[in-house]
C-alpha cells in the first residue's frame, strides 16, 4: 500500500475515534459556541485562530466566510439532512479535495467570500461530469446558453463546462457580475440558480406591492427557495465537521494539479499511459474531452496531478509510438466526402463534424488537410464547431465586417441578455463601455465589440 494512503487512512481513523469520544462526553456541547436559529435549532460557529497560518484549505475556507449566516427552518432542515448522511458528505468532500485548492486560491485572489467554494456541493455534488435534465453540466452546472455567454466552448470535441479550471473562472466571473447587479450575495446566489431576470422581476413585484425585497421575502420556485439554505447547511458542517461526525479529507495548502498545453495531438488513453495513471483517474481530471483525443490546434490543456508532471514529461520525451489514432489526410478539391469516409472506414457524419463540413457540402470546395477520426469514434449528434484553421481552409467561415455594433438599451434589458443577443460576454461589454458595474439605464447606448 502507498505510504501516503496508509498515513491518510490512519489519520482519518484517528479522527473518527476523536469524534466518537467527543460524542460520548457529557456536556460536550459546551465546547462550542451556539447561535439560535429562528426555529429554535442550533447552528455551530467555531472560533477561528487567526494568529497562526491555516492548517489546510478547509481552514482557509472557514477564515474567509463573508456572507452573513442565514437562519431559517429550511437551513435547519438541510443541515440535519446532510448531517444524517455523513457517508454522502464524505464522498462529496473527497471529490472536492482535488479542486478546492485551485478554487479557493482563485476566490482569494478576487477577494470574494470563500463559502462560494462550497457551491459545487449544492450544484453538482462536486462531480465535474454531472449533467442535469436541464442540460446543465460540470462542477458549476452551466446551462448551454450561459456557458456560451461566458466563453465556455461546447462542440463535438469538448465541453468546457466540464473543465474544472475554465468553468471555475467562468462561474466566479458570473457570480461577481450578479453581486454587482443585485447588491446582495443572497440575491446573487438566487440569480445564479433561477436567473437574474427572474429575481429582478420578483424584486420589482415586491417593490410595487410595498413588500420587503430581501431573499427571504421573495416568492420563488422551491428549488431556489432551498438553494441558499442548502449552501448555509454545507457551510455549517464545514465550520464544525466534528459536531456532525463528518470526516473531511486532508486538503493541503498546495496545488493538487497542474495544467499543461499540448503542441501535438494525443489520445487520452496515451496521455494517461504516459502519466502512469489509470484511464478513469485521468478522465476524471479531464472530463471535458468528448472524443478521446486532445487536439493541439485548439490550445487545450491537459490537467495532471502535480506529482505526475515529471513522470509524464519524461515518458513523453522518450515515447516512440503513435500519440494518436486520429489521422490527417491531404484531401483534394472536388473529392467526395462519402468516398473519403469509406476509404478510412469512418462514419461520414463524424468525418463532417470533425472537419466542420455541413451536410449540404458533398464535395470539397478546396484542398483541405482533413482530420480523420479514429475507427469506432462515437457518432454523436453534437453541434459542429470545427477548429478555426479547418474552417478557414475550407473557406466556410464568414469574415467579420470589422465595424463595432451598438445597442440602445430598452426597458427590461439586462447586460446579461444583451451579451447573449450579440454572442459576447458581460465582462467584454463592461470593458468596451468603461462600465464599473452591470447597472444600465433605459435609453443608454452600448458599444458592442466584434
Please tell me the predicted confidence (pLDDT) of residue 368. 83
- β-partners of residue 327 are 372
Please tell me the predicted confidence (pLDDT) of residue 437. 63
Please tell me the predicted confidence (pLDDT) of residue 384. 33
Does 296 share its domain with 336? no
Pick 282 or 40 by higher pLDDT.
282
Does 66 share its domain with 203? yes
Say if CB 287 and CB 98 are below 8 A apart. Answer: no
Work out the percent of the chain whose per-residue pLDDT is above 70: 80
Does 82 share its domain with 218? yes
Closest CA to 268 of 258, 257, 283, 278: 283
Residue 21 lies in a domain: no
Asked which of 191, 219, 244 is the last residue of a domain, the reply is 244
Closest CA to 419 of 236, 170, 248, 204: 170
Number of domains the chain is built from: 4
Query: Rounded distance, CA 449 to CA 440, Å?
Result: 17
Asked which of 318, 344, 369 is the last residue of a domain, the reply is 318
State how far Cα 100 lies from the chain centre: 12
Residue 4 lies in a domain: no
Does 388 share its domain with 413? no
Q: Is the dihedral of CA 247, 253, 256, 259 positive or negative?
A: positive
Query: Rounded distance, CA 431 to CA 429, Å?
Result: 5
By residue range, what is the domain housing residue 123? 32-244
Does 222 share its domain with 270? no
Q: Which three cell numbers stand for residue 298?
A: 485548439
Does 232 share its domain with 358? no
Question: Beta strands 301-305 and 327-331: pairing type?
Answer: unpaired
- Considering the candidates 42, 87, 115, 123, report the single residue annotated as catalytic: 123
Does 140 share its domain with 214? yes
Work out the percent of the chain whose per-residue pLDDT is above 90: 57
pLDDT score of 149 more than 70: yes
pLDDT for 31-52, tens place per residue?
A: 223 233 333 333 444 555 666 7
Question: How many Cα atoms occupy the beta-carbon half-sphere of 365 within 13 Å?
Answer: 14
Phi, psi of 158 (to 5 degrees): -155, 160
Pick 220 or 36 by higher pLDDT.
220
CATH at 434: 3.10.350.10
Does 298 share its domain with 346? no
Residues 416, 421, 426, 432, Cα dihedral to 10°: -140
CATH at 279: 3.10.350
Please tell me the predicted confidence (pLDDT) of residue 206. 97
Residue 142 lies in a domain: yes
CATH at 62: 1.10.530
Does 227 share its domain with 276? no
Query: Rounded distance, CA 178 to CA 188, Å?
Result: 5
Residue 7 lies in a domain: no
Among 285-294, 384-393, 431-440, whose mean pLDDT is lowest? 384-393
Residue 314 lies in a domain: yes
Query: Rounded distance, CA 418 to CA 409, Å?
Result: 9
pLDDT score of 4 more than 70: no
Asked which of 318, 336, 359 is the last residue of a domain, the reply is 318
pLDDT for 409-418, tens place per residue?
A: 887 787 777 8
Residue 413 lies in a domain: yes
Query: Rounded distance, CA 78 to CA 43, Å?
Result: 11
What is the per-residue DSSP string for 266-293?
Answer: EEHHHHHHHTT--HHHHHHH-TTBSSSE
59: annotated active-site residue: no
pLDDT for 65-98, tens place per residue?
A: 999 999 999 999 999 999 999 999 999 999 999 9
Q: Is the pTM of this model over 0.75?
A: no
Does 212 share its domain with 86? yes
Does 136 share its domain with 207? yes
Q: Which residue has the cell 462560494?
A: 116
Residue 367 lies in a domain: yes
Among 49-58, 102-111, 121-130, whose mean pLDDT is lowest? 49-58
Residue 13 lies in a domain: no
Q: Which residue has the cell 446579461?
A: 416
- β-partners of residue 363 are 336
Does 49 share its domain with 196? yes
Please tell me the predicted confidence (pLDDT) of residue 415. 76
Amino acid at each position: 500500500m502507498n505510504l501516503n494512503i496508509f498515513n491518510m487512512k490512519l489519520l482519518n481513523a484517528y479522527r473518527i475515534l476523536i469524534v466518537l469520544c467527543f460524542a460520548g462526553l457529557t456536556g460536550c456541547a459546551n465546547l462550542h459556541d451556539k447561535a439560535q436559529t429562528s426555529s429554535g435549532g442550533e447552528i455551530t460557529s467555531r472560533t477561528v485562530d487567526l494568529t497562526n497560518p491555516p492548517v489546510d484549505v478547509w481552514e482557509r475556507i472557514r477564515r474567509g466566510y463573508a456572507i452573513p449566516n442565514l437562519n431559517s427552518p429550511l437551513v435547519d432542515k438541510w443541515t440535519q439532512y446532510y448531517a444524517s448522511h455523513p457517508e454522502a458528505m464524505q464522498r462529496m468532500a473527497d471529490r472536492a479535495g482535488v479542486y478546492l485548492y485551485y478554487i479557493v486560491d482563485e476566490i482569494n485572489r478576487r477577494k470574494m467570500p470563500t463559502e462560494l467554494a462550497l457551491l459545487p456541493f449544492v450544484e453538482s455534488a462536486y462531480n465535474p461530469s454531472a449533467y442535469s435534465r436541464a442540460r446543465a453540466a460540470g462542477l458549476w452546472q452551466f446551462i448551454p446558453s450561459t456557458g456560451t455567454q461566458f466563453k465556455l466552448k461546447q462542440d463535438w470535441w469538448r465541453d468546457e463546462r466540464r473543465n474544472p479550471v475554465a468553468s471555475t473562472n467562468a462561474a466566479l466571473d458570473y457570480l461577481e457580475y450578479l453581486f454587482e447587479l443585485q447588491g446582495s450575495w443572497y440575491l446573487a446566489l438566487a440569480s445564479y440558480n433561477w436567473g437574474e431576470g427572474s429575481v429582478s422581476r420578483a424584486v420589482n413585484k415586491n417593490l410595487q406591492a410595498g413588500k420587503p425585497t430581501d431573499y427571504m421575502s421573495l416568492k420563488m420556485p422551491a428549488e431556489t427557495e432551498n438553494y441558499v439554505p442548502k449552501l448555509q447547511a454545507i457551510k455549517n458542517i464545514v465550520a464544525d465537521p466534528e459536531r456532525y461526525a463528518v470526516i473531511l479529507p486532508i486538503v493541503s495548502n498546495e496545488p493538487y494539479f497542474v495544467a499543461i498545453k499540448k503542441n501535438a495531438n494525443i489520445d487520452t488513453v496515451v496521455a494517461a499511459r504516459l502519466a502512469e495513471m489509470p484511464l478513469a483517474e485521468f478522465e476524471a481530471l479531464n472530463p471535458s474531452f468528448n472524443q478521446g483525443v486532445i487536439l493541439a490546434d485548439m490550445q487545450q490543456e491537459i490537467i495532471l496531478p502535480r506529482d505526475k508532471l515529471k513522470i509524464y514529461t519524461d515518458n513523453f520525451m522518450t515515447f516512440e509510438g503513435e500519440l494518436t489514432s486520429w489521422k490527417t489526410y491531404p484531401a483534394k478539391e472536388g473529392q467526395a466526402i462519402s468516398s473519403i469516409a469509406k476509404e478510412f472506414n469512418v462514419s461520414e457524419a463524424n468525418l463532417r463534424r470533425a472537419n466542420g463540413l455541413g451536410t449540404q457540402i458533398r464535395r470539397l470546395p478546396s484542398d483541405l488537410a482533413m482530420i480523420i477520426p479514429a475507427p469506432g469514434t462515437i457518432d454523436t449528434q453534437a453541434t459542429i464547431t470545427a477548429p478555426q484553421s479547418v474552417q478557414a481552409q475550407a473557406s466556410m467561415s464568414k469574415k467579420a465586417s470589422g465595424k463595432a455594433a451598438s445597442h440602445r438599451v430598452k426597458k427590461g434589458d439586462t447586460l446579461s441578455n444583451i451579451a447573449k443577443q450579440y454572442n459576447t460576454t458581460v465582462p467584454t461589454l463592461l470593458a468596451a463601455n468603461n462600465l464599473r458595474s452591470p447597472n444600465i439605464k433605459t435609453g443608454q447606448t452600448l458599444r458592442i465589440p466584434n
